Each structure stands twice: as structure tokens, then as C-alpha cells.
Amino acid sequence: MVGMVVLTLSAAALAQRRGPAPLDPLPVTPADLAAFGTQPVGSGAPEMTIIHDPLLPASTCMLCHAGFDDPLTTVKPYRWRGSMHSHAYRDPIFRAAMTIANQDAPGAGSLCIKCHAPRAWLEGRATPPTGAADGSVLFESDIDEGVSCHVCHRLVDPAYPRKQYQPADDEAILAVLDASGLRPPEPGNAQMAVDGLDIRRGPFADALPPHEFAYSPFHSTANLCGTCHDVSNPLYTRIGADTPAPGDSYALNPFNEPHPTGLKHGQFPEQRTFSEWANSAFAKGGVDMGGRFNVDPNDPDPPVSTVVSSCQDCHMPDRRGFGCAEFFEPPERRNVPYHGFVGANVFAIDLLLHLHGPDGDASFDQYTIDSLRRQRDETIDMVQRATDAELTQAGPDLRVRVINQCGHKLLTGMPEGRRIWKNVRFYAGDTLIAERGGYDPQSALLDDASTKVYEQLLGIDEPTAALVGRPAGPSFNLMLVNRVEKDNRIPPRGYERAAFEAAQAGHVGYEYDDGQFWDDTLFCIPPGATRAVFRLYYQTSSREYIEFLRAENTTDENGQRLYDAWEAVGMSAPVVMDEGEIALAPFVVGDTTADNAVDFSDIERVLTHWLDAGLIGRTGGDANCDGVVDFDDITFVLSRWGRTL
């Protein structure tokens, strides 16, 4: 892309950055990672700000909450087993990345474990003195179960007394956290308020389980998900006005001290899925999506309302079924929350099946394999619900519009390696004559210069680069990055620029108008083309990211293991999100304004886009169709001056 630095780390650059630098590695101590919320067992925090009853492994819930009859057709909460929550710690991409985090900032791994295996963190297995940030003292079940049932189901709403029906003992739990100054002030960074006692919280007031439970409206809100789906780096402090703004910078805190505010808007934003949602139309009353999400295909009498709002509406859709095995005679409900937490990550599923399925170490049981296979199909289906595409011809340009139908940016979440791009093939009859955004499945390389790639790239700014001994610019070092280099991801419905910028979820190097939840790209049509075929692709991990995770690793086998598995499963093959085809009408070559004549307006168009280089493809102007807008286009227009249809 024009103006963007290509993200590759050459061996020379690697060698150079390993030179002596004052803060390589960052001298992190547990104090630097101090956070609000329930504290780890063994940390010396006061009684009741740590858990009392142990968090049970999911296998103990499975006894009743799985569907033994037919795991693939019945809806039971244990469908979680196919979700990335269940595999959040085992996930080989995560593991390779955590090794790098611990190399760059020894001890930072405990922050990673806090979200990816929260039970281990809460029970003190990820923090000193009882635990270790490299995961070496985790239980087998921590590794096996990632984000497990009991953690989510003991979460307490930190915003009490917000709602009428709050579990009675929440007030006491929050009072204890308040007394230690630990009540989580906002959703984010896994700052959890956890019930110290084993009282399982859920969405149904009329449930009659054979265990202690409490009705918890919190579990039906996006705030619960926001606990982990806004991620910030607490090692950095934002330098700027009270409200975050585009010109802000982020500086390393003094070490061995807690972050000065502990608030996410004072830290470097790594993921803002919850904030993107919170500033969308979905959060403000919901959106009628016409049955795209949250309609049960097996319910003969589906609900009348097709309005969706919370994360749960799209990621935990209502299904007709039982919340528990039938031998407890639970009521049949039409709104059992589906625990697939289906997202976009097909690649991780392929890696997991490869490494742990029958052809790998065979550690997965049949239920896990079946669940993951089904999750794979559901993930592709979800990815295909995420967008709509529209193709129109404007004279010599093909306009490709992609509409974001998600509750957050398209794409959202983890920035490293994730991307979406537009691929267009122009045909003369059956002959392919040109391609934009071509991808080579053999090398996993994308021709990103000829198309628009939606992604967020993070990087290191100059002052910090000198301190940490790395080159300034784009970087995948999660603990070191402190600048957004690029963000052109398509906003959700209800987008307002000011609100997104204030939530540290604005755009960099690209612009969207308020209310815009789509994006257009103009591709010039090569002479002779009679039709165009469009595909929108989603890729979980780019080649550059996988190579980085291997090249940077000086500690363990996780980078090589990931690399080998990546090669074996097809290199994070892109998933088709949308496709379409359009027949092309004759046009005047060089007529970039589509007024059927090559004239002064075309020169103007070229100039506008030339000066607007950052917004590639938005205004057209590539008169000679070579993929860039430059002086050659002016000469091209002049050479065809006066032509008409």
C-alpha cells in the first residue's frame, strides 16, 4: 500500500535489534501488571479479594451439561468444547506469541494467561510466588480448558447496583473489593470480580440446578464479554488530554510500579472489540438484522423479533434445547444460549485438529474432534454472514462496496496477522486478463500493492525504539508496540468518528464518514474486459506473522512447532467471505470520471487521487490501469484526449 512500510523482518534487522539497549528485555515485575479485580491466590491479597472455593474444571460440569446422546445435534453448554474459549491456552498461535512476550518482557506471560487460562491465574499458577509466567506450573486441565465454565459462571457484575435483579451477595463481594480499592472500574483486561464461593450464575431465574446458583442479568450483557474483549498494555501510559485523541503518544511507565491510573484509556490499546461495539448502533438499542443472526434453524416457531444487540445475540444465539442432560428433567427452553462462541478463526481449528487429532498426538477425544469439525463449518458460515458486497460499474471503473454487518469493526480483535482483502479478476470472455489482490496459495503471499487490505498494524515509535533496541515502525512484538501504524478496518453501524477516537478505536491512514459502515474501492477495468469476478477474503494469520513468531523465538520450540503445523494445514488458507460477478459494459478508456469523454475532469480526478494517496482506490483516477495513480496517468489522459463512446 502507498505510504505503508512492508512488515518483514530481515535477518540483518533481527541481528541489529538484538544489540545492547537499556530496556532489552523490559525489567517487568508483578507490580507493573497490578490490576483491579479479584487477585490471585497466594498473592497475599486480603481474604475475599481472592477466591475461596476452587474453580472446578469443565470436566466436572460436563457430567450434566453435555449431550451424551448426540453431541452434534443437541444443544448443551458443553458445546463450548469446540470453541476457541476452550482452546484459548492450547492455541499454538497464542503459545508462540506468549513466548515472545516473555522474551521481550519477562513475566508478562502472566498477563496473557489471565485471559487465555483465567482459572490458572486466579488460583495463583501464573504469578509468583506460587506460579510462573511461562505456564510451567499450570495444571493439565488449565491447558486443556482455557476460558472454562466455572470462571465465566462465577463472574460478578462490577457495576452493581445497576440493575434491579442483582444476586443478593454481590453487594457484599463488591464491598470487600471496594475496601481494598480493587473493584473493576470498567470492562477490560480481565479485571474480573469473581465470587469467592461456588455459586454459579446464569441467565435463568427459574433454573433449578442441583448446585448453588444465582440468577444474574449480567450474564446476558456485553459487559461480561467486555471483561476480556478490550485488551490494553499496562506497561504504557498515554500522553495526551483527558480524552484520547489521534495525536496521543504512549510512553513506558517507570518499572516496578503499578500503572498510574490502571484505566484502559490511559494504556496502549491492543484490542477494542468491546469499545467498538459499545459505540455502535448495536449497543444503542439494537439493530434489526432481518434474521441474519440469532434465528434458530431448528425452531419451527422462531421469535418474532430479529433485533440483535449484545455479543451474546450474535455469538451465543438462542437455541431450542435443554440447559442440562435430560435425566435432571430440565425445562425445554427456546433460548438456551449456544456455547459455540463462533467467530472467524478457521486456521486455529485446523492447527488444533492437526496437532491433537488422530494424525497428531491423538490427545483429543472423539467429542472434541467432532465439536471442532462442526465448529469449523459454523465458523465459515459466520464469516460469510459478516458482510455483503455490491458490484457496480462507473465507466472505466469497477466499484466494489463491502458492507460490514458485524457488531464491531470488520475485522476486529487480535490485530497481529489478521487481514481481509478484495480480490478482483477481470475476464475477456473466459480468459483471465488481469487480477487485483492476487494471493498465491503455494507461497502464502498476497499482492497487496494492487488492492485494498483491511487490517490494523501496530508498531514502535522512535523514542521507545531506541530504549528497547528495536527498529522503529511496524512490529509484531505485542509487549513493545505503542503506536497504531495503520487501521482502515470498516466500522460498524452507528459509527461516529469522535466517539471511536475517544475509545482509542479510531482509524489511522484512512477515514470514514460518520454513519458509514461500508467501504468502496474503485478498480480500473482493463481494456477488453467483459466481466469481473469479485471475492472478499479473510485470513487469520499472514505469512509475515508466522515467520516472525519463528524467527524471533530464542526460547523454545513453540515458534517452529507453529510454523510446521502452519505449513501442514495449508498456511492459514484465506476464507471466502463474499463473492459476486458483474458483466461489464463498454467504456471510454481514460475516462476516469465516467462521463463518456476524456476531458479536463479526468485530469482533475487523477490529481485529486494522486494527492490523496493514502486513500487508495477510493476516488479512482488510475487512468492507465497500472495499479498506481501518478504522473503517467496524466500523460495517459492527454494521449486519449477528446475520445468519446
Compare residues 246 and 291 and give the one whose CB is closer to ligand HEC: 291
Compare residues 411 and 465 and give the one whose CB is closer to ligand HEC: 411
Q: Does 122 bind ligand HEC (CB under 6 A)?
A: no
Q: Cα separation of 206 and 318, whole Å? A: 17
Q: Does 574 bind ligand HEC (CB under 6 A)?
A: no
Smallest distance from ligand HEC to CB 7, Å: 16
> Cell for 533?
469476478
Residue 50 exposure: Cα atoms within 13 Å on the Cβ side = 15
Compare residues 201 and 483 and give the one whose CB is closer to ligand HEC: 201
Nearest to 105 by CA among 32, 42, 43: 32
Q: Check the CA dihedral 547-466-12-451 and report its sign.
A: positive
Q: Among residues 9, 35, 64, 597, which is the contact residue for ligand HEC, using CB under 6 A?
A: 64
Q: Does 344 bind ligand HEC (CB under 6 A)?
A: yes
> Cell for 121?
491465574
Smallest distance from ligand HEC to CB 452, Å: 16
Q: Does 80 bind ligand HEC (CB under 6 A)?
A: yes
Compare residues 76 and 605 and give the one whose CB is closer to ligand HEC: 76
Which residues, numbered 379-398, are part of the site for ligand HEC (CB under 6 A)? 379, 382-383, 385-386
Compare residues 327 and 631 and give the one whose CB is closer to ligand HEC: 327
Name the residue with the smallest CB distance to ligand HEC: 323
Q: Check the CA dihedral 342-343-348-350 and report its sign.
A: positive
Compare residues 174 and 386 and give the one whose CB is closer to ligand HEC: 386
Smallest distance from ligand HEC to CB 94, Å: 4
CA torsion angle for 142, 143, 144, 146 (degrees, to 10)? 70
Smallest distance from ligand HEC to CB 148, Å: 6
Compare residues 204 and 236 and give the one whose CB is closer to ligand HEC: 204
Smallest distance from ligand HEC to CB 542, Å: 11
Which residues, numbered 456-515, are part of the site for ligand HEC (CB under 6 A)? 478-479
Compare residues 311 and 588 and give the one whose CB is closer to ligand HEC: 311
Q: Does 133 bind ligand HEC (CB under 6 A)?
A: no
CA 267 centroid distance within chain? 18
Which residues, numbered 187-226, are part of the site for ligand HEC (CB under 6 A)? 189-190, 200-204, 207-211, 213, 215, 219-220, 222, 224-226
> Cell for 285?
438499542
Smallest distance from ligand HEC to CB 270, Å: 8
CA distances, 606 to each of 34, 137, 523 (Å): 53, 61, 14
Q: Cα separation of 85 and 116, whole Å? A: 8
For residues 50 and 196, the answer to whether their CB atoms sit within 8 Å is yes
What lies within 8 Å, CB to CB, of 285 at 6+ separation is 309
Smallest distance from ligand HEC to CB 629, Å: 30
Compare residues 312 and 423 and give the one whose CB is closer to ligand HEC: 312
Which residues, numbered 419-458, are part of the site for ligand HEC (CB under 6 A)? none
CA distances, 78 to each of 67, 72, 145, 346, 355 (Å): 8, 11, 11, 20, 22
What lies within 8 Å, CB to CB, of 431 at 6+ separation is none
Only segment of 228-236, 505-513, 609-617, 619-627 that touches ligand HEC (CB under 6 A) = 228-236
Count of residues engaged in binding ligand HEC, rule: CB under 6 A: 101
Compare residues 381 and 514 and give the one whose CB is closer to ligand HEC: 381
Q: Does 542 bind ligand HEC (CB under 6 A)?
A: no
CA torsion angle for 191, 117, 71, 363 (degrees, to 10)? 180
Q: Does 185 bind ligand HEC (CB under 6 A)?
A: no
What lies within 8 Å, CB to CB, of 522 at 6+ separation is 394, 397, 398, 399, 400, 617, 618, 619, 620, 622
Smallest distance from ligand HEC to CB 348, Å: 4
Q: Does 336 bind ligand HEC (CB under 6 A)?
A: yes
Which residues, numbered 346-385, are part of the site for ligand HEC (CB under 6 A)? 348, 379, 382-383, 385
Which residues, numbered 159-178, are part of the site for ligand HEC (CB under 6 A)? none
Which residues, numbered 403-422, are part of the site for ligand HEC (CB under 6 A)? 406-408, 410-414, 418
Q: How many residues does the chain have?
A: 645
Compare residues 324 and 524 and give the one whose CB is closer to ligand HEC: 324
Compare residues 183 and 200 and give the one whose CB is closer to ligand HEC: 200
Only segment of 10-18, 93-101, 435-443, 598-606 that touches ligand HEC (CB under 6 A) = 93-101
CA distances, 393 to each of 52, 162, 399, 580, 640 (Å): 65, 52, 6, 13, 21
Smallest distance from ligand HEC to CB 158, Å: 13
Q: Does 343 bind ligand HEC (CB under 6 A)?
A: yes
Which residues, numbered 140-159, are part of the site for ligand HEC (CB under 6 A)? 147-153
CA distances, 119 to each of 122, 177, 305, 358, 422 (Å): 5, 19, 37, 28, 40
Q: Among residues 97, 252, 480, 589, which is the contact residue for ligand HEC, using CB under 6 A?
A: 97
Burial class of 299 by CB neighbour count within 10 A (0 to 12, 13 to 18, 19+): middle
Max alpha carbon distance in the chain (Å)? Answer: 83
What lies within 8 Å, CB to CB, of 567 at 6+ separation is none
Q: Does 345 bind ligand HEC (CB under 6 A)?
A: yes
Q: Among residues 35, 41, 182, 231, which is the contact residue for ligand HEC, using CB under 6 A?
A: 231
Q: Cα separation of 543 and 346, whole Å? A: 16
Q: Does 108 bind ligand HEC (CB under 6 A)?
A: yes
The CA R_g of the chain, rounded to the nearest whole Å, is 26
Which residues, numbered 267-326, are part of the site for ligand HEC (CB under 6 A)? 273-274, 277, 282, 289, 293, 308, 311-316, 323-324
Q: Cα separation of 321 and 472, whole Å? A: 54
Q: Among residues 41, 88, 400, 465, which is the contact residue for ligand HEC, using CB under 6 A?
A: 88
Q: Among residues 333, 376, 486, 561, which is the contact residue for ligand HEC, using CB under 6 A?
A: 333
Nearest to 532 by CA among 637, 422, 616: 422
Q: Check the CA dihedral 350-352-355-358 and report its sign.
A: negative
Q: Site mask, ligand HEC, residues 583-612, x = CB under 6 A?
A: ------------------------------
Only segment of 40-48, 334-342, 465-473, 635-643 that touches ligand HEC (CB under 6 A) = 334-342
For residues 22 and 467, the answer to whether their CB atoms sit within 8 Å is yes
